[in-house]
Amino acid sequence: MLYIYINMGKLLYTKSLGLLLEEESNMKIKLENVEKTIKGQMIFQNVNVELISGHIYGFVGYNGCGKTMLLRIISNLVKPSEGMISLDEQPYSAIKSMPKIGIVLEKPDFFNELSGLKNLEMLAKIRNEIHTDKIMEAIKKVGLLTQENKKVGKYSLGMRQRLGIAQAIMEDNDILILDEITSGLDEDGVKMIYDILKEEREKGKLIIITSHNKIDIEELCDETFKFNNGTVHAYETD
């Protein structure tokens, strides 16, 4: 059974039950000839990519090229128009339960009238796997320990981004999918997310990011893919 939480169409969680991942095995997501068309308009086509746990992958391209849509497809939130996406050689359509996925798509959107802590506590109830101590651990890790009781409506863009990162990591997800992850962050915040993602990679997590910042891609990514005229190709940074 797949559980999905959508807050204002931007902050999403997915959870599935029952698929056990062996600690020493590498999880692999494979896209084969994936295409997405919306109302007759082709967004991208012939996407062929392999994503393996223990790595950070970057997707780059101009605004509107389809990066976020591809992340939704990888997350199993949207179906491709054509092609196949599989997990460990099993088509998504045949998998009863997906791994745990932490997702931040576009700008994190929370309930402004609630504190950062209350927002995360409410979201944690969807899975009901963690308690306040784990939430506070994530809050501390993203540098919001003194701001957890402030209403999110008073948060800056950078603070919202930090809170979004906290929600993505607080439940020890198998896959992290992070869209424009350093947007709104100051220098200290950028270093913080670099450290967090490198730590998660060392734990064997599969991490997928998008960024318009070339430094993010060079600093973090083991492999990068670039959108160009509706196709996606391996991209070598300078």
Percentage helix, strand, coil for the chain under 3-state DSSP, each rounded to 5: 30, 30, 40
* Mean pLDDT, rounded, of the chain: 88
Phi, psi (degrees; rounded to nearest 5) at 160? -60, -40
Asked whether residue 167 carries a pLDDT value surpassing 80, the answer given is yes
The predicted structure's pLDDT at residue 238: 60
The predicted structure's pLDDT at residue 16: 38
Element housing 13 (H / E): strand 11-16
Q: What percent of the chain has pLDDT over 70?
A: 89
Provide the 3-class DSSP secondary structure of residue 157. helix
Provide the 3-class DSSP secondary structure of residue 182. coil
Residue ranges of E strands in 64-169: 82-87, 90-91, 101-104
Amino acid in position 88: D
The predicted structure's pLDDT at residue 6: 36
Amino acid in position 45: Q
Q: Tell me: the pLDDT tens digits for 113-154?
A: 999 999 999 999 999 999 999 999 999 999 999 999 999 999
Place of tokens 């209403």: 151
60, 224 contact by CB (below 8 A)? yes
Task: Give the predicted TM-score (pTM) of the model.
Answer: 0.86
Domain covering 2-17+28-234, topology: Rossmann fold (3.40.50)
What is the domain partition of the chain in residue ranges? 2-17+28-234
What is the rounded distance in angstroms from the CA atom of residue 184 to the CA atom of residue 4? 26
Closest CA to 20 of 85, 96, 72: 96
